[in-house]
Amino acid sequence: MAQLATFKIPEINNEPMKNYAPGSEERTKLQAALKEMREQAPFEVPCFVNGEEIKTQSIEQQAISCDHKKTLCTYHNADSVTVAKAIDGALAVKETWEAYPFNDRIAIFLKAADLVATKYRYKINAATMLGQGKNAWQAEIDSACELADFLRFNCQYAEELYAQQPPKNATGIWNRSEYRALEGFVFAVSPFNFTAIGGNLVCAPALMGNVVVWKPAPAAVYSNYLIFEILREAGLPDGVIQFIPGPAPEVVAQVLKHPEFASLHFTGSTHVFKQLWKQIGNNIDIYKSYPRIVGETGGKNFHILHKSAEVKTTVCQSIRAAFEYQGQKCSALSRLYVPDNLWPEFKKTLIEEHAKITVGPVDEFSNFMTSVINQAAFDKIKSFIDWAKTSDVTETIAGGTYDDSEGYFIQPTILVTKDPKSKTMVEEIFGPVLTIYVYPADEYEQTLELINTTNSYGLTGAVFARDRQAVITATRILRNAAGNFYINDKCTGAVVGQQPFGGSRASGTNDKAGSINLLYRFVSSRSIKENFIPIEDWAYPSNQK
């Protein structure tokens, strides 16, 4: 198809966040969406392959995490036949999709963003709240705003990427660069904790002309299926993204043995990512190309206070970072370093503010925290809390209780340890447990070195100081300790288009979701040189006698 103009996409800005204050219009609409969703549940979620619903004999349930005796949806697990159909169907439409004019591809994702921000805003927020245990604000900044931001900003980044061309052309020569989709298909494995990440894992590669096989997390099936339906309504052709919930070991093994497997786009645990990488390595001889492996995994994220830090703001920022969404963000604060000169005031203020935190169902908007995602998460977090109660070096100064009788509720728990390399300072917990180490105020640099070497992660971290030299020192020593580093701000809450997100070490490949860097991972560039001037002799001047 001829392209008759060079198009510019509309100006892109971050989606404005609604605050859901008492009496607000958005609060009323979201409450209505929650009520309607509870009344209509359970929903049925099929596999969706080649434009058709597929229902299998293997059916599981996604519970409402704050009310786990109730079911949000039932979903059909993909069997081996369905997985094979998904791969074959995606490959069958690959050539057509890659050949779509760029403006038409972009139009689909821009429309999807507008659908997320308008028609489906309250529905997808309600699904994220009930299914994944987020309060209204956490759902808003995730499934409405961040998802819309990913969809829109990726279009801008793609436009910028395609515009990058060779800066020089010799006389009579025209040099060009084109950015091809990868040969084969992309396999996206998405997590439970961010609806927006599920959308980005599939939409970023699809935008660049790739076809994608998508395995959503069991605890986020319903919200992820809504994303898929939104994309179809926006005009995404059948087969470009194939939606296949299913048991991870079986689906993954089948996908990773396919010769046309071209890329893994993953967000989840470090342990699982390493397992997948090993499987890919073991299968390397069967692939047509070296697969692109893109992953964002775990973290053991930190705040450090310098002796010049302002106490009240660091307390508030630390409570948000540690306990928002029950500590189930990969960026969540887990270890906190406080100088002894500030500790008495800091401890007093922290305990006072901690007492104000409310925990309960997502429907009650005043709750700052709700439930953790499922029984396995509850049991794991509980084991760390129980360990601390028997530890000789760790004291529980707040929280420490839990109850899974109705929802998987864990009170925000604060520990203080005498050992900076104790269990809860080193191991990822992924829950509302914060461990504090009080360090001698005159050992600031030594403590920075300690932070840098305590564990294998490198995702997020923050320094709080009014002394600029303290900030400079922390920035230098912690250069590789965090892919997202914050100064006088909490270590969570990266915004698309403002703070590209990702870490290295055991925290992932640091390809920076929310930036142009990520899109480069899903294209294979080709350099083209065209010569306009024929030559009449094969010899060079240096060959003359």
For residue 52, what is the domain's CATH number? 3.40.605.10
Identify whether 170 is part of a domain.
yes
Alpha helices in 283-342 (DSSP H): 311-323
Identify whether 428 is part of a domain.
yes
Identify whether 262 is part of a domain.
yes
Alpha helices in 236-269 (DSSP H): 248-256
pLDDT tens-digit readout, 505-537: 999 999 999 999 999 999 999 999 999 999 999
Q: For residue 506, is it left (φ>0), alpha (ψ between -120 and 50) or beta?
A: alpha
Identify whether 495 is part of a domain.
no
- Say if residues 27 and 21 touch (Cβ distance below 8 Å): yes
Query: Which is the catalytic residue, given 15, 296, 324, 428?
Result: 296
Known catalytic residue at 39: no
Closest CA to 241 of 200, 271, 274: 200
Residue where a domain stops, chosen among 487, 517, 538: 487
For residues 194, 199, 204, 208, the Cα torsion angle rounded to the nearest 10 degrees is 170
Identify whether 2 is part of a domain.
no
pLDDT, mean of residues 127-146: 99
Query: Do 293 and 311 fall into the same domain?
Result: no
Query: Do 92 and 193 fall into the same domain?
Result: yes
Query: Do 418 and 445 fall into the same domain?
Result: yes
Cis peptide before 249 (omega within 30 of 0): no
| Amino acid in the structure at residue 252 | V
Identify whether 233 is part of a domain.
yes
CA atoms of 132 and 139, how far apart (whole Å): 9
pLDDT, mean of residues 9-35: 98
Identify whether 545 is part of a domain.
no
Identify whether 393 is part of a domain.
yes
pLDDT, mean of residues 72-91: 98
Query: Do 430 and 514 fall into the same domain?
Result: no
> How many domains does the structure of the chain reveal?
2
Place of tokens 């461990």: 435
CATH of the domain at 314: 3.40.309.10
Query: Do 52 and 192 fall into the same domain?
Result: yes
CA atoms of 316 and 320, how far apart (whole Å): 6
Can you spell out the DSSP letters for 402-415? EE-SSS-EE--EEE
Q: What is the mean pLDDT of the chain?
A: 98
Name 528's bridge partners.
176
Q: Report the Cα–Cα distance between both ends of the chain, in Å, rounded.
A: 53
pLDDT tens-digit readout, 314-332: 999 999 999 999 999 999 9
Q: Which residues, at least 6 apart from 66, have a Cβ–Cβ distance to it below 8 Å?
A: 130, 133, 360, 361, 362, 370, 371, 406, 407, 408, 409
Can you spell out the DSSP letters for 88-111? HHHHHHHHHHHTS-HHHHHHHHHH
Query: Do 34 and 110 fall into the same domain?
Result: yes
Query: Do 425 and 513 fall into the same domain?
Result: no
pLDDT tens-digit readout, 443-494: 999 999 999 999 999 999 999 999 999 999 999 999 999 999 999 999 999 9
Query: Do 145 and 119 fall into the same domain?
Result: yes
CA 392 to the chain's CA centroid:
36
Query: What does the H/E/C string look like for 413-467?
Result: EEEEECCCCCHHHHCCCCCCEEEEEEECHHHHHHHHHHHHHCCCEECEEEEECCC
Query: Do 418 and 313 fall into the same domain?
Result: yes
Query: Do 242 and 367 fall into the same domain?
Result: no
Q: Which two tokens stand for residue 96?
A: 């057509």
Query: Do 352 and 240 fall into the same domain?
Result: no
Query: Do 175 and 198 fall into the same domain?
Result: yes
Residues spanned by the domain of 356:
301-487
- Say if residues 301 and 272 touch (Cβ distance below 8 Å): no
